[in-house]
Amino acid sequence: MRKIVLILMICCTAFAAHADGKLKVVVSFSILGDMVGQVAGDNVELKVLVGPNGDVHEYDPTPADAKSLANADLVFINGLGLEGWMERLIKSSGYKGQVIVVTKGITPLSSLERGSKAFDPHAWQNIENGKIYVGNITDALALADKINSSQYKNNSKVYLNKLDNLDKWVREEINTVPPTKRKVISTHDAFQYFAHAYGVEFIAPLGVSTESEATAADMAKLIDQIRQQKITAVFFENMTDSRLIKQLEADAGAFVGGTLYSDALSASGGDAPDYMSMFKHNVPLLVAAMIKNPNPNN
């Protein structure tokens, strides 16, 4: 009898931390938050630190963030230097659990910034990489919460299938633009993975982080490049300052093709409230603007 009581006590202690039975998961930024949510469904209590339209490169964690981390069972980050503020936050919160880096297993692109040996963190802009994120998320959730593991695996399968179709659709859309016209200007270098995967050239006044600043010389060089290559399509980004792009529009005779979602989702009800709708929003804008680029050979 005493043995049974003891076993019961151990069981209850293991579950007591989460009376509602839900795994407490903290995710660094909104795009990753959506992906974790797609796999997890309603089975976890999800806290996203950098929310809709927030800049994950430059973020000041709050005391509430530290509290969320201190109570977390599992933490997901992008890695590749995206969340420079995370290590200090984890340390100060006292979180001792696992930190899952969802870019594990992707082939990272190097940052094009001068003299930099850093990696470009924006790997989610290639849907094939997004699928690797989903695989890593699924493995981590299934391991941390065995009771719901089959549900995570099922959700993952359905989601991966949708991502396959989305990837196919992106390729078809981009292919409607003649290859010589596939050039656009965005604010910061967030689309190199998209560029590599789908054959579009992106040129940006800022490097792979929004923390850098474009000098007058950088801007003059870019204006020359825009004129020479006859690029007319420039884009705002939802989470960066629009002044640089407005300057290009005025000085280089370009036109603004719209706002691209690069590092953050929109709020729910907006243009891009989830990872898939980010592509559904960005790609038609890119295609419409690139078609208008004059043929550089004329």
Binding residues vs Zn ion (CB under 5 A): 190, 263
In this complex, which beta carbon is closest to Zn ion, that of residue 209 or of residue 293?
Answer: 209
CB of 174 closer than 8 Å to CB of 279: no
Smallest gap from residue 293 Cβ to Zn ion (A): 24
Smallest gap from residue 189 Cβ to Zn ion (A): 7
In this complex, which beta carbon is closest to Zn ion, that of residue 148 or of residue 187?
Answer: 187
Taking Cα atoms as reference points, which of 14, 41, 71 lies closest to residue 158? Answer: 41
Smallest gap from residue 213 Cβ to Zn ion (A): 14
Residue 250 tokens, joined: 């005025």
Smallest gap from residue 271 Cβ to Zn ion (A): 18
Alpha helices (H) in 61-174, listed in sequence order: 63-70, 86-93, 127-144, 149-174
For residues 19, 22, 24 and 27, what is the CA-based torsion angle, rounded to 10 degrees?
-160
Smallest gap from residue 206 Cβ to Zn ion (A): 9
Separation CA 102–CA 84 (nearest Å) = 15
Taking Cα atoms as reference points, which of 29, 62, 65, 67 lies closest to residue 48? Answer: 29
In this complex, which beta carbon is closest to Zn ion, that of residue 123 or of residue 222?
Answer: 123
Residue 193 tokens, joined: 């993975």
Query: What is the DSSP code string of 200-216?
Result: -EEE-SB-SSTTS---H
In this complex, which beta carbon is closest to Zn ion, that of residue 73 or of residue 263?
Answer: 263
In this complex, which beta carbon is closest to Zn ion, that of residue 93 or of residue 240?
Answer: 240
As beta bridge partners, residue 256 has: 234
In this complex, which beta carbon is closest to Zn ion, that of residue 167 or of residue 263?
Answer: 263
Smallest gap from residue 219 Cβ to Zn ion (A): 19
CB of 74 closer than 8 Å to CB of 99: no
